[in-house]
Structure 1
Amino acid sequence: MKPLKPPSRIGVVGTGRMGGNIALRLNDTGWNVEALYDANPTSTNILSEQVGAVIAATLADVTDLCEVIITAVSDDAATLAVFAEKGDSLLTGAKDKLFINCATLTPAVHVEAQRRAQANGAQAIEACMAGSMPQARSGTLFLMCAGDKDAFERARPLLEVMSSELLYLGAPGKAAETKALVNMLMN
């Protein structure tokens, strides 16, 4: 598939501190943030007005409305829930969609999320973030990415507006392993 270019329809799942600032950054740089979803929907009201996005009622609605979905959810369990194999899920109608998983997760969960996406005809990569809210807002995150190389190249233009440093590390799970090592060394 061809690399993304603005104004591709972007969905953001997990609109807390990091996801919300990513949505604002993408909106500011010409990307079309089409849909937002959060387990706490009231947290998306102001963000929805700021970026002109709809607040999706379901995860499946996000997938239906968007060609690219960025997830920035809280943990492993939340990630497995949004990529559930049954019930409401981002995987509903996921063929040809691109998932960019930015949450801090165990490597095994990144691998499983990518497996589930591919089993449903979608592409997925992990884009583990080093940085905090100011970097997410200004597009100066350090992104450690892993997964399918074609998916990474497709996502590259979007990832470049989110980051000042972009690193591709190979197979699924490798970015999460690297981020864990970086966190261990810095703490």
Structure 2
Amino acid sequence: MSTDLPSLAFAGIGLMGLPMCRRLLAAGYPLTVWNRSPDKCDALVAAGARRAASPAELSRDADMVLLCLADTAVVREVVFGEAGIALGGRSGQLLIDLSSLEPGATREMAAELAALCGMAWLDAPVSGGTPGAEAGTLAIMVGGDVHDLHRAQPVLQVLGQRVTHMGAVGAGQVTKACNQMIVACNALVIAEVIALAERSGVDTRLLAEALAGGFADSKPLQILAPQMASSTYQPIKWHVRTLLKDLDNAVKLSREQGAATPISGLAAQLMRLHASQGFLDQDPSTLVEQYRSKP
């Protein structure tokens, strides 16, 4: 293992965090991990990672601290809560937040962290789902100082095939909101399409193949349409709650900016309806159930 590699710390060993950590370990980075449920770190510890007892301990000896957490409130707690990252942080360290958060809150937290301990902040949300996390083909959209991104670039290139600097802190989160608006609205339309084709007697297992390469083609179509057609909802690759959270963030951002986003606003309400019917922690491929005839 090269001693020239920076030491990394990672908080949030979930659907995305676990495969990202595996890639970092495989690339030879010294890695310390923390998760609210410690047992989720077991596989990484067995592979060579060190387990931290708290976020403060996680950040104490790391050059860079990466986060992949559920939402703004969780990031705020992990960074600024009791025994949080800020307690163990110091000037010269870099926090890289791979989570999808509110842009305004990201800017506020970045300023607060810099004032408390001197740590710099990059918001670097990702797109590509668990397959992209496993293959290292994520799209990573970054907000922050260009010199901080230069430091983080080798690490991010282990995780993604495309790293794009979008501007100052918060710009990465704005870009991710735009990404999720497109993804969520696309998923809802694909669900309508599959249900309509079923009612019309079309073999929906052929739809993704039939539309491949045309203007209607997309990664969500190629992933979701076969799952919806066959009612294959396991294993869960992402969650309805994640799309709902991101849509709510996008609608909030649009209000703050005075921008009209009526389609995304409707998508948020349809996603919320689906979540309320027992699908909150299910895969978005279950959206088709909203449009199928009920017995």
Q: TM-score, normalised by structure 2?
A: 0.58
Partner of 2:165: 168
AA partner of residue 28 (structure 2): G
Q: Secondary structure at the match of 1:7?
A: coil
Q: Does 1:59 align with 2:55?
A: yes
CA contact (8 A) 2:122 2:148 kept: yes
For structure 2, list consecutive stretches of 5 or more residues without a partner in the other structure: 186-295
Partner of 1:88: 83
Residues 96-150 of structure 1, C-alpha deviations (whole Å, 9 max, x = no match): 2111000111112221231122111111101110111121122110000001222
Q: Does 1:74 align with 2:70?
A: yes
Partner of 1:154: 151
* 1:185 CA displacement: 2.0
State the percentage of identical aligned residues: 26
Partner of 2:176: 179
CA contact (8 A) 1:114 1:147 kept: no
| Inter-partner Cα distance in structure 2 for 1:12 and 1:6 | 19
| Inter-partner Cα distance in structure 2 for 1:16 and 1:149 | 29
Partner of 1:9: 7
Q: Secondary structure at the match of 1:167?
A: strand
AA partner of residue 90 (structure 1): I
Selected match of 1:107 from 103, 109, 128 = 103
AA partner of residue 24 (structure 2): L
Q: TM-score, normalised by structure 1?
A: 0.90
The change in CA–CA distance for 1:15 and 1:6 in structure 2 (over 3 A counts) is farther
* 1:178 CA displacement: 1.1
Q: Post-superposition, which runs of at least 4 consecutive aligned residues in structure 1 deviate over 4 A?
A: none
AA partner of residue 18 (structure 1): M
AA partner of residue 160 (structure 1): Q
For structure 1, list consecutive stretches of 5 or more residues without a partner in the other structure: none
* 1:6 CA displacement: 5.3
Partner of 2:28: 30
| Inter-partner Cα distance in structure 2 for 1:125 and 1:166 | 12
| Inter-partner Cα distance in structure 2 for 1:21 and 1:6 | 23
Q: Where is the helix percentage greater, Structure 1 or Structure 2? A: 2
CA contact (8 A) 1:11 1:70 kept: yes
Q: Secondary structure at the match of 1:83?
A: helix
| Inter-partner Cα distance in structure 2 for 1:160 and 1:46 | 23
Q: How many residues align?
A: 180
| Inter-partner Cα distance in structure 2 for 1:6 and 1:31 | 9
- CA-based RMSD of the aligned residues comes to 1.5
Q: Where is the strand percentage greater, Structure 1 or Structure 2? A: 1
CA contact (8 A) 2:139 2:160 kept: yes
Selected match of 2:19 from 18, 21, 29 = 21
CA contact (8 A) 2:57 2:88 kept: no
